[in-house]
Amino acid sequence: MTRIAAVHGALAPYRCAQAEITDMVARACLPEGADRRVLDRLHGNAGVRARHMTLPLDQYERLDGFGAANDLFIATATDLGARVIREALRTAGLSAADVDLLIFTSVTGVAVPSVDARVAARLGLRPDLRRVPLFGLGCAGGAAGLARVHDFLLGRPDQVAVLLSVELCSLTFQRGDASTANLVATGLFGDGASAVVACGAERAGAFPGPTIVDSRSRLYPDAGGVLGWDIGDSGFRVVLDPDIPEVLRHHLADDVREFLAGHGLKPQDVTAWVCHPGGPRILDAVTEALDLPTEELAVSWRHLAESGNLSSSSVLHILRDTLAERRPPPGTPGLLLAIGPGLACELVLLSW
């Protein structure tokens, strides 16, 4: 088994009310004098009250191109990444010298050397550290990263692995783009980071956290164009198709039931659902597809309202909050799930 020893999350420094962000987007994205009623409706329906941003709002309109945004991503991701790993290790009672593997996932900036290498140098991680930077998994990256941590520790049960996610979504907002996809994204996504410390079976007894039992990945190639980036001179331009909830309604229930059945379980046996909050329509689709009581995704709804969608980091923040506030009965199963570009579904079976 793989034991989760600690989960730590952090948010970018500037907390802004949704209405303030909407006003900034109106100035930055809409033509002068344009009717902003569609923008107001999209942001109002996002289910978000406030988000954390990397920059003060008035600086986004002056951010000069993809290069400047990406430079800011590298600097901020390194700072936030080092901070959340340091705190997660402290919570687990481990040191930098204990870490054998560092997996880094992000989809909101690029760096070579990768952010994990920069964080390793900042924290003094061992020079023989194994590193796996992941790019392109989007909102599914937190769940997929946990699954890859589990894969690694199954073969090295005496070792310690860290998963780091940093997503600075506000740095990808496209100025001068009044497309529906960009307006939805500017109303939904926020900035944050998270780190998970996990250990293999030979060290698991030292920690009280849940165990990772198994994982499942599912790719829906017939929906490959509904979510992702178009990458060009201005950076990352969001692809966000309104059909995503319908894809989930069509596929998710069968995937979850089949995965759980392989472990002698049914959806009603799951005592906590750790679900990525892709947005209100995504959460509604998950609730509908799995026939869940509304309160089962209460932590996800609250995270969406208070922080927005943090892409790959969100599901790890929700895992942290579930452990801190709604810890299920010991020995019962939990399911962590997220959806990302591909279109892909990532499932991680937990035992509390």
| 191 neighbors 11 (Cβ within 8 angstroms) | yes
Which residues belong to the active site? 139
| 56 neighbors 14 (Cβ within 8 angstroms) | yes
**Can you give the length of the chain in residues?**
352
**List of residues 6+ apart from 203 with CB closer than 8 A:** 3, 157, 158, 159, 160
Query: What is the spatial distance between Cα 196 and Cα 99, in angstroms, rounded to a whole number?
Result: 12
Query: What is the spatial distance between Cα 305 and Cα 101, in angstroms, rounded to a whole number?
Result: 33
Query: What is the spatial distance between Cα 3 and Cα 109, in angstroms, rounded to a whole number?
Result: 30
| Residue 6 token pair | 């600690």
Maximum CA extent, the chain? 64
User: Does 343 sit behind a cis peptide bond, omega within 30 degrees of 0 on the bond before it?
Assistant: yes
Query: What is the spatial distance between Cα 73 and Cα 274, in angstroms, rounded to a whole number?
Result: 27
Q: What are phi and psi of 334, to 5 degrees?
A: -130, 160
Query: What is the spatial distance between Cα 97 and Cα 76, in angstroms, rounded to a whole number?
Result: 24
| Residue 325 token pair | 């506030």
Number of helices followed by number of strands (H, E) in the chain = 11, 13
DSSP annotation string for 145-200: HHHHHHHHHHH-TT-EEEEEEEEEGGGG--TT---HHHHHHHHHB-EEEEEEEEE-
Provide the CA 193 distance to its chain's centre, in angstroms: 8
Q: What are phi and psi of 12, to 5 degrees?
A: -60, 160
| 169 neighbors 105 (Cβ within 8 angstroms) | no
